[in-house]
């Protein structure tokens, strides 16, 4: 755009003067820009688009619902799309998660989960106030969600507003026992209200992965000490890791589950926090002071709920799991060739998420090499956004083999250029 735009972009340094593409249309894994470029969306528009952009069933559901009921107060009122969605979710998510609380983003789903956990202990008459978290985690950018996430350059300026948490180390391969011991110690104090964790993959922390066995062991420790287990599946949910939930691979049922991003297939902002009966029951009373004090204007927006119902129908009617399995195989093959040719290390994969670290002098989120690679990818019509020196792919499940081959060849060329 020629004239300076008043738009202030998220996680973007306007002072670097990077070109900001304007996208007019999309379908599947393709984005079409106003200057006539066709760009492949290799990161699902920041991890949200699961089936592909503008899936016709989701588009139709949004159009139908918009013409019927656009928005409704949700405190003490209800509508069919929310009722259907809550029943649809309880039918496919672990049976113990009997209740569905709506909000609008992953961050708010996490805020709600933390408030539910403290509300549970307070209403039970045995208040606990410590939250246990894992190093390198990301749970969102609101104050509570930042408090339970990794501290660093992203939130240094806001640190006076963040509350204290108990942090356990990330379970690096071979050092899992260290993590489990730290969790055990944090839980044993009797002050821990809840442990919040991203199951199997820490996304924004650098696509760090750990085993289902460790996830299972962490769950067992929390159960033993009556510490609530909060699974933040905002990124890992909806098939990303190869199963509907990452927790399924570890046979883990959380007390509280956060879902957002792919809940609507990525088409509309919507989130849910699902809770087990004891959490709900602790707020269930004739005493109004025990109700769950949380709401936002667009709680359970009907159009967003209709989009989520269409997502559930796609999971029932289309071979989504098979698509993820095939995609996972193709991703592995492509990265194997790249790793054989370039100085990269630590290739890791969980379903439709694959990552590798480029050996570079400067690492970390603000590494220059990340920006250089991003520019190289975009110059060749690929949307990829390295996390520091970590290149990862997380494409929509509909991506074609031709589009994947194109992505691998662009990574190949870009690595040759920047290294």
Ligand X SMILES: *Cc1c(COP(=O)(O)O)cnc(C)c1O
Q: Is 372 annotated as a binding residue?
A: no
CB 46 within 8 A of CB 10: no
Q: Is there a binding annotation on residue 296?
A: yes
CB-CB contact of 227 with 234 (8 Å): no
Q: Does 262 bind ligand X (CB under 6 A)?
A: no
Q: Per the annotation, does 385 bind a ligand?
A: yes
Is 77 annotated to bind a ligand? Reply is no
Please check whether residue 228 is in contact with residue 120, taking contact to mean a CB–CB distance below 8 angstroms. yes
Q: How far is the CB of 42 from ligand X (least distance, A)?
A: 17
Least distance (Å) from ligand X to the CB of residue 388? 16
Residue 360, C-beta contacts closer than 8 angstroms, at least 6 positions apart: 367, 369, 389, 419
Using CB under 6 A as the binding rule, whether residue 110 contacts ligand X is answered as yes
Looking at 99-107, 118-126, 322-330, 363-371, which segment touches ligand X (CB under 6 A)? 99-107
CB 191 within 8 A of CB 226: no
State which residue, 150 or 415, has the beta carbon closest to ligand X. Answer: 150
- Shortest distance, position 234 Cβ to ligand X, whole Å: 4
Record the tokens describing residue 310, joined without a space. Answer: 């269409």
DSSP-H helix ranges across 99-235: 106-123, 143-147, 176-188, 212-224
- 140 is an interface residue for ligand X by CB under 6 A: yes
For residue 350, give Cα distances in angstroms to 141, 318, 354, 396.
25, 21, 7, 14
Give the one residue of 52, 81, 88, 106 binding ligand X; rule: CB under 6 A.
Answer: 106
Q: Do residues 102 and 270 make contact, with C-beta atoms less than 8 angstroms apart?
A: yes
Q: Is residue 349 classed exposed, middle or buried when 0-12, 13-18 and 19+ CB atoms within 10 A define those classes?
A: buried
Q: In angstroms, rounded to a whole number, what is the distance separating the alpha carbons of residues 77 and 388?
A: 46
Q: Would you give the binding string for ligand X spanning residues 2-41, x where CB under 6 A is met?
A: ----------------------------------------
Does 105 bind ligand X (CB under 6 A)? Our answer is yes
Which of 182, 187, 260, 354 is in the footprint of ligand X by CB under 6 A? Answer: 260
d(C-alpha 192, C-alpha 195), whole Å: 8
261 is in an annotated binding site: yes
Q: Which of residues 186-205 bind ligand X (CB under 6 A)?
A: 198, 203-204
By beta-carbon proximity to ligand X, the closer residue of 105 and 123 is: 105
Residue 258 and residue 109 in contact, taking contact as beta carbons nearer than 8 Å: yes
Of the candidates 107, 123, 243, 403, which one interacts with ligand X according to CB under 6 A?
107
Does the footprint of ligand X cover residue 102 (CB under 6 A)?
no
**Among positions 30, 61, 208, 235, the unique one binding ligand X when judged by CB under 6 A:** 235
Residues that bind ligand X (CB under 6 A): 105-107, 110, 138-140, 198, 203-204, 232, 234-235, 260
């Amino acid at each position: 755009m020629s004239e300076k735009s008043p738009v202030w972009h998220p996680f973007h340094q306007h002072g670097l003067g990077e070109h900001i593409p304007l996208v007019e249309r999309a379908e599947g894994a393709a984005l079409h820009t106003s200057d006539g470029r066709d760009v492949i969306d290799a990161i699902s528009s920041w991890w949200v688009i699961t089936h592909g952009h503008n899936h016709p069933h989701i588009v139709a559901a949004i159009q139908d619902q918009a013409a019927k009921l656009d928005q409704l107060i949700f405190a003490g009122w209800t509508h069919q799309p929310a009722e259907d969605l809550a029943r649809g979710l309880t039918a496919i998510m672990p049976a113990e998660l009997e209740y569905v609380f709506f909000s609008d983003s992953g961050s708010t789903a996490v805020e709600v989960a933390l408030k539910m956990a403290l509300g549970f202990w307070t209403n039970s008459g045995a208040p606990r106030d410590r939250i246990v978290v894992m190093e390198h985690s990301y749970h969102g950018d609101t104050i509570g969600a930042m408090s339970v996430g990794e501290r660093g350059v992203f939130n240094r300026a806001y640190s006076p507003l963040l509350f204290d948490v108990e942090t356990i180390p990330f379970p690096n391969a071979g050092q899992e026992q260290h993590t489990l011991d730290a969790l055990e110690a944090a839980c044993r104090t009797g002050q821990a209200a809840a442990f919040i964790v991203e199951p199997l993959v820490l996304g924004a922390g650098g696509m760090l992965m750990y085993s289902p066995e460790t996830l299972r062991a962490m769950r067992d420790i929390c159960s033993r000490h009556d510490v609530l287990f909060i699974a933040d599946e905002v990124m890992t949910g909806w098939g990303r890791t190869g199963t509907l939930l990452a927790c399924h691979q570890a046979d883990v049922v959380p007390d509280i589950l956060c879902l957002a991003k792919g809940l609507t297939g990525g088409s509309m902002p919507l989130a849910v926090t699902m809770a087990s009966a004891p959490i709900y029951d602790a707020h269930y009373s004739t005493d109004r002071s025990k109700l769950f004090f949380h709401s936002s204007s667009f709680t359970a927006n009907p159009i967003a709920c209709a989009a989520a119902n269409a997502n559930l129908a796609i999971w029932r009617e289309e071979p989504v799991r098979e698509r993820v399995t095939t995609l996972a195989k193709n991703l592995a093959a492509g990265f194997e060739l790249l790793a054989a040719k370039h100085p990269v290390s630590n290739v890791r994969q969980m379903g439709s998420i694959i990552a590798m670290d480029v050996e570079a002098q400067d690492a970390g989120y603000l590494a220059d090499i990340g920006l250089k690679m991003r520019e190289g990818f975009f110059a060749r019509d690929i949307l990829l956004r390295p996390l520091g020196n970590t290149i990862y792919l997380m494409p929509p499940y509909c991506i074609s083999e031709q589009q994947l081959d194109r992505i691998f060849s662009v990574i190949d060329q870009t690595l040759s250029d920047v290294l």
